[in-house]
């Protein structure tokens, strides 16, 4: 009997102890939750000043928040300084570079001897290169520092490709290259769109894309009309201004590094992405350089005799990545039966 009573008392004490522990544990978690909420909402204020562990915890949290706020202010100050510096560089260099370009062009209109004309050409060429470099660096700095952020929204990929085509068609024509589009309708008389075959057994449309060996199944993917999707329904999520900038850098490179043949612009529709492909018949890029060409200021082995600063592809990748997309590069430069480079820009179909 006595042992039974003792056992009952011990059991009761254990239950009371367990309940007390659970209550204290809940109180501790509730207190920590309140502290974290006040820290997140920036309303934290140290209230307990004694020798307890809770007071020590409050003190450490106050120090951490103070340090974090100081760091945030420093980052904001540095960003404002960079913003001011970038604006100053853009503003202060624009006028002198424009004056150099203007005067060099005026100088070239004079009846100069061969040596003087050569010097005038060099001045004009280098001034244009400097103007492009400053412009690219300013854009890149604004993107990297968050001064200018991309604002992607659902847009018509067909119209985006049309703007790119119209912008770079004259440049390609002046160099004697065919700039071909395989993605837009012929409703616009000024737009030299190539009609795509609907015979999926031949795979002709997809095989017209430089650097690919497409099957009949690929042809259905490459041609929206064959998969039951209207050309006008090709939409993706992108910032039109910045995406056009990125695609322009790729198209400009394709034209620059292609001495003969063509540059082909096409669109492929996938379930999650819309792919804008720019393919050329240039010398191509060696496989061991594929990862490096997107680095800042990198210039490939085949670009020694071409003008450029090696920042266009880096800027293009930064822009596309910030929009949730990516760029893929293929180049069959080492094959005897094919040549050229293919850049595929993948834009997300949904936000």
pLDDT digits (tens, 9 = 90+) for 175-187: 899 998 886 543 3
pLDDT at 96: 87
Q: How confident is the model at residue 212 (pLDDT cuts 50, 70, 90)?
A: very low
- Which CATH code is given to the segment(s) 153-348? 3.30.565.10
Listed range (28-32, 35-39, 237-241, 304-308) with the worst mean pLDDT: 304-308
Overall CATH class of domain 82-144? mainly alpha
Strand 262-269 with 178-181, pairing? parallel
Give the C-alpha separation, 257 to 163, whole Å: 21
Q: Where are the alpha helices (DSSP H) in the chain?
A: 2-40, 53-108, 114-144, 157-174, 204-207, 216-222, 240-256, 312-322
Where are the chain's structural domains? 1-31, 82-144, 153-348
Give the C-alpha separation, 90 to 94, whole Å: 6
Do residues 233 and 310 lie in contact, with contact meaning Cβ atoms separated by under 8 Å?
Answer: no
Helix, strand or coil, per DSSP, at residue 49:
coil
pLDDT digits (tens, 9 = 90+) for 94-126: 888 888 888 888 888 888 888 888 898 889 888
pTM, to two decimals: 0.58
pLDDT score of 326 more than 90: yes
Count how many Cα atoms sit within 13 Å of the Cα of residue 267 in the half-sphere of its side chain.
30
Per-residue pLDDT, averaged over 83-89, amounts to 75
Q: How many C-beta neighbours within 10 Å does residue 187 have?
A: 9
pLDDT at 198: 28
pLDDT at 305: 59
- CB neighbour class for 161 (10 Å; exposed up to 12, middle 13-18, buried from 19): buried
pLDDT at 66: 78
Do residues 234 and 240 lie in contact, with contact meaning Cβ atoms separated by under 8 Å?
Answer: no
């Amino acid at each position: 009997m006595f042992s039974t009573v003792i056992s009952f008392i011990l059991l009761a004490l254990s239950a009371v102890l367990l309940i007390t522990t659970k209550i204290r544990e809940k109180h501790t978690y509730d207190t920590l939750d309140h502290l974290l909420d006040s820290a997140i909402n920036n309303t934290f204020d140290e209230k307990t000043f004694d020798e307890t562990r809770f007071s020590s915890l409050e003190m450490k949290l106050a120090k951490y928040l103070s340090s974090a706020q100081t760091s945030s202010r420093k980052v904001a100050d540095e960003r404002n300084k960079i913003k001011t510096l970038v604006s100053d560089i853009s503003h202060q260099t624009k006028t002198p570079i424009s004056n150099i370009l203007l005067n060099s062009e005026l100088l070239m209109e004079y009846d100069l001897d061969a040596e003087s004309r050569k010097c005038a050409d060099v001045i004009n060429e280098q001034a244009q290169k400097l103007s492009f470099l400053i412009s690219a660096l300013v854009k890149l700095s604004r993107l990297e520092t968050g001064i200018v952020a991309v604002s992607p929204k659902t847009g018509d990929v067909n119209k985006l490709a049309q703007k790119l085509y119209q912008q770079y068609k004259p440049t390609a024509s002046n160099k004697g290259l065919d700039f071909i589009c395989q993605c837009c309708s012929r409703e616009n008389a000024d737009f030299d769109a190539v009609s795509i075959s609907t015979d999926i057994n031949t795979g002709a449309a997809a095989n017209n894309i430089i650097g690919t060996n497409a099957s009949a199944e690929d042809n259905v993917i490459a041609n929206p009309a064959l998969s039951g999707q209207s050309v006008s329904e090709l939409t993706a999520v992108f910032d039109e201004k910045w995406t056009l900038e990125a695609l322009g850098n790729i198209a400009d490179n394709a034209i620059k590094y292609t001495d003969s043949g063509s540059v082909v612009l096409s669109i492929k529709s996938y379930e999650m992405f819309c792919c804008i492909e720019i393919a050329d018949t240039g010398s191509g890029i060696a496989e061991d350089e594929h990862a490096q060409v997107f680095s800042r200021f990198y210039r490939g082995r085949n670009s020694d005799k071409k003008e450029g600063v090696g920042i266009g592809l880096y800027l293009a990748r930064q822009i596309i990545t910030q929009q949730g997309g990516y760029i893929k590069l293929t180049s069959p430069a080492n094959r005897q039966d094919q040549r050229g480079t293919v850049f595929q820009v993948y834009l997300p179909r949904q936000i």
